[in-house]
Chains A and B, each alone.
Chain A
């Protein structure tokens, strides 16, 4: 009498609210670090550059707590610290303390119950020593990267060349993603990148060999570059563990890169450092000497992502690009993303009118391809693409797993300076309509569950239904047909109840 019947895939998984707002949410890397064991973190904290970079990724309040404790030699009573916190700050302050404890920057408090006054705060000694060293300078860690010798034969590339290189690499990856499955065959990124994309679930193989972009991949395309970069790097970090690479070395190399500088020329090895060199308007090269084997292996991967540039694969020098140097800041990681390169492109290129017509001043294939995800493109001119946002085009995007909010936030971030004069920035009609189209799609809500039918008598039906109602698992009922639909969670209980009843009746 019990039969599992309807099985519908849980809906709404792909529409998980992506946190687009900057600032308030903690950085992606911090989330990753939170899950690392204390020993890993302690090893990471041995490098001043790692400490500095992690410190920068913390929330403002957490940074202030660290700074308050940094120069104290003895632990400070918790009550003294808490006295500085205002009434509104109590909750954020407690949260900041617990985040710092999870990061092992503050040692874990013992769980024994006691008055909160007895708690004393002190920084993790390794972290304290390293961050102090980072701020005051000195030491012999060499963790901020050793500059490469200025070489007349192969001068370091200038910043423009580096930017172009980073942009080219990055856009190759994105363009490959966006045009997969459209029948075009753009330049393929390297095997390592493809593997990474596949591992991160941004692309998946369908029909055997060809890689296809997934709905996660579509969402990824609309993220700002900084988030995209970290998404890939976090995946890389997770992969590193499987590839038997030392996570600490991988992380500290990435964090070291984030403290390196664009735009200077330096020198080669320690003994040259005392000498004074002449600064040229070229980009910075760093020496690969005293990198560990793991880190040397990473160079190749990072070159594929466009984070660093090497003249040849065996070169003993590398130059970090803007993608690398802005890892821990919020300044834009990529230079202008358009071919023509005049100032207006930095700002944005999209003009959207109330009649759903969209003008995009760009000739960049990647941007056009991304727009093509949710716009029906009509005309194309040398520097302009014209299209229309239609119900069909938006529904196609929604079917790909892109949400209305992502479309709107993409349009806002890339709006043309002319659009900035409007308040609100995007025409309200268009914004609302895109949201309505999304709601249209979500009119039908699906839930997994079991349908209970074929009850012998109405009394039986009522008994079971009452029991299910008490559990609160009834989703739908129809007394005239003597059937009801219950959610998955209640199934075991209902089934047991029915079995007990039929056993009792027999």
Chain B
């Protein structure tokens, strides 16, 4: 048990906005080079505070992705990005969600499930299409098995291109949607 506490203490706070002291390891200095989170996070938090009373709930839907986008969406929750501190939470049900974060291309076999998830989400709601495939069909396009872009199936409010978009791209995408 003490081992856990010791490790937590010696690892220190790595979350990039708040990395106060570089006491933990040499590696921290290397890690902090990834910039942009600080500024971006501040803006994001201000927007969410103003428009969503401090918390924005996201339901992620994989509608046919190769799972590359999912890996980067997951990374938003790791200690470096820790998107929860800005008030962004991933929730388990579309009933709890403000935003659907949809990766694509939308496969024909997921089309009905995506429509139903959209219908199950309470108003007001927003949809962000993630990745090149979600944006325009990407490498897969439209075929007998793929509807292509998310916008071909449900209304889309913002698009975050990239193959896959990085965690910073994703944060920027959420910010862009609510800043205008």
Q: Do A and B come from one complex?
A: no
Interface set of B (CB-CB < 8 Å, partner A)? none
Question: A-side interface residues toward B, CB under 8 Å?
Answer: none
